[in-house]
Amino acid sequence: MTENIEKEFPELTFLKDEPLSRYTNTKTGGKADLLIFPTSSEIVQQLLSYADKQNLPVTIIGNASNLIVKDGGINGLVIILAKMNNIVSDGLTVTADAGASIIATTQFAQKASLTGLEFAAGIPGSVGGAVFMNAGAYGGEISEVASKATVMTQNGEVKELNHEELDFGYRHSSIQDHHEVVISTTFKLKKGNPDQIQTRMDELNAKRAAKQPLELPSCGSVFKRPTGHYTGQLIQEAGLQGLKWGGAQVSTKHAGFIVNIDHATATDYLDLIHHIQAVVYEKFQVHLETEVRIIGEDAK
């Protein structure tokens, strides 16, 4: 099936049996049968339309930051949107392609003297991923500034969703429910002082660097915050901070993170996640739900 798509699109460059550990922030993950970095939404549309007709499995990935790819890899076609990264402004709005990084988007807004995205200045994901999961930090969420998004269905149909149709919730959007692909997002911002915007971004990035293990590979915050609790505190009080599992470790800097300290595998990550969930539930009767997206096949 993958050979057929290569013949159908001879002008495109596909990578075969490509290790996804080269692209994930955890530096773990198995191989993709076929991987491509499209440069336009038109190419994505053509690929999705073809794959839909041929029943070829397709997996879309943004910046692979809040993501664990299992060690068995991903069957079919994997599309990474990182090369679709254009950002433009018009008045009080900034429109960014799905593959643009959130960090680059906040920097673009600052240069345009637009305020509202400062909370996201250090979020390592892509615009598409941030909208998909309604990413947030330091009291702000994407839902507060995203006014509309252009999305694509699994068969290649393009449509525009307004803020209400995006149905944002805590780490949730309607895009998850309908398995759609973010193509671009428009953020409605306010006029601001660029120096003050930069100062706020610098403050938040300093806080992040002081509290989070940015120096080591990780998937970011592993678990959603349970109502009435702080995830890191629960894991600490369960006596799990610093626990090593294979090459993975509960961060000694922030217990809500799992870091790759010694050639960890995705299985190490997942086993450690399950262990944390079991111990925290046993001690506190609190179920820690994963925030990180887990995809792919188990190792054979």
Q: Find tokens 């988007």 and name the residue.
A: 105
**Residues in a beta bridge with 250:** 258
Q: Find tokens 């805590």 and name the residue.
A: 170
Q: Which residues are tagged catalytic?
A: 171, 221, 291
| Whole-angstrom distance, CA of residue 77 vs CA of residue 33 | 6
Q: CA gyration radius for the chain?
A: 19
H/E run at residue 294 = strand 293-295
Handedness of CA 280, 285, 291, 294 (dihedral sign): positive
Tell me the three state secondary structure of residue 226.
Answer: coil
| Amino acid at the residue 4 | N
Estimate to the nearest angstrom the gap between the alpha carbon of 46 and the chain centroid: 24
Neighbours of 158 (CB within 10 A): 14
CB contact at 8 A, 130 and 81: no
